[in-house]
Structure 1
């Protein structure tokens, strides 16, 4: 009917036009922060965000109490998108193939997530949501390592298995990647370094395992 400002949402319930416009504006503002992240920016000025979103500075602070709250919302969304970046990895077959697949995926994801991780580091007080999403990301990365290298890990005694998994985890997560990149390595050099380190850790475990006497030896 003319003059009715409500529309019907997918659930069949009326959606107030003003509320929907507000939601869309909020999304545009978050999208603007993500676009700036993709360009490598990790410090967010309200004027820059407003310009990118096509809204006024006043409207930015109408939807978000401050830039920290806005950054929190954008970072949470970006971390939530991380799972879509990961493809299934081979868990059987030649070690070289498994290492290559894992390292290619890690290098691509870690380079992509770097601006977000730097933005998190600059937050004075990351929210519980950001901390939980970061922890989930790290836990999932460790689980994938255990799956991809199960053939090498599962034949080791418990403590040695844990030590090897800890080492693999340390050299395939963002902290190591950021170290290599800030040391001057380009993404391809950093990827090769990661691959060489993973191979070295696995080979070291092979040699240590071969040097151990059989369990029933005197």
Structure 2
């Protein structure tokens, strides 16, 4: 009996080219965002992408939609760079690991966050993506500093978590960087603020912080 060969799906070349062009346009928009451009006219995006202005609006309904896609693309790129952080061991090492990663991510997201601030009506999708990043960052704090947070009464725990959240998110980072601090100075400032909050709350030093004097 003659075997019937399985049908092989045929890739639509036009669909693939369209996807590549759409990504090229979004990347062109991102390059302008990364340069802290105040405005993103379609002509400039088209020139940067090497396509026609008409093609920009063939793939995107308007510049607001393009900005949304570009910003979400950047958030996805940065999210892919997030790595697990230590949740046990000496506090000094946990703070160092946290602030090194936060500094890198927050510096990378700054142009996109500024672009969102310049949008008249940021889309719900962008706002949701930003909120998800904030929620995830806060969750990571509860895991990294579980030893310190869990040793406190509920009200003190809540206050400490609010403080840690405030000094490790983008608003604080942008305040330091726009005030003239280098990325390394801003990272050290963040680390100092985290240590001060933990010490001020009377949080324990955490696992592996070192032996008591005389041990």
What is the CA–CA distance in structure 2 between the aligned matches of 1:82 and 1:150, rounded to whole Å? 25
Q: Quickly say closer, same or farther: Cα 1:207–1:149, change in 2 above 3 A.
A: closer
TM-score by length of 2: 0.86
SS for the counterpart of 1:142 is helix
Report if aligned partners of 1:42, 1:118 keep a CA contact under 8 Å in 2: no
Provide Cα deviations, 1:182-213, integer angstroms capped at 9, x if missing partner. 111111111111111111000001179xxxxx
Q: Which residue of 2 aligns with 1:156?
A: 152
Match status 1:122 vs 2:123: no
Report if aligned partners of 2:148, 2:203 keep a CA contact under 8 Å in 1: no
What is the CA–CA distance in structure 1 between the aligned matches of 2:56 and 2:66, rounded to whole Å? 9
Q: Quickly say closer, same or farther: Cα 1:98–1:207, change in 2 above 3 A.
A: closer
Report if aligned partners of 1:76, 1:133 keep a CA contact under 8 Å in 2: yes
- Mapping of residues 158-177 of structure 1, within 5 Å: 158-177=154-173
Q: Which residue of 1 aligns with 2:57?
A: 61
Q: Which residue of 1 aligns with 2:29?
A: 33
Deviation at 1:62, TM superposition (A): 1.6
Q: Which residue of 2 aligns with 1:92?
A: 88
What is the CA–CA distance in structure 2 between the aligned matches of 1:65 and 1:185, rounded to whole Å? 39
Match status 1:186 vs 2:182: yes
What is the CA–CA distance in structure 1 between the aligned matches of 2:38 and 2:74, rounded to whole Å? 13
Q: Quickly say closer, same or farther: Cα 1:190–1:12, change in 2 above 3 A.
A: farther
Of 134-143 and 118-127, more deviation after overlay is shown by 118-127
Match status 1:131 vs 2:127: yes
Give unpaired runs (5+ residues) of structure 2: 1-6, 205-215
Q: Which residue of 1 aligns with 2:199?
A: 203
Q: Which residue of 2 aligns with 1:214?
A: none
Q: Which residue of 2 aligns with 1:16?
A: 12
What is the CA–CA distance in structure 2 between the aligned matches of 1:12 and 1:150, rounded to whole Å? 53
Indicate the RMSD between aligned Cα atoms, in angstroms: 1.8
SS for the counterpart of 2:11 is strand
What is the CA–CA distance in structure 1 between the aligned matches of 2:121 and 2:34, rounded to whole Å? 23
Q: Which residue of 2 aligns with 1:112?
A: 108
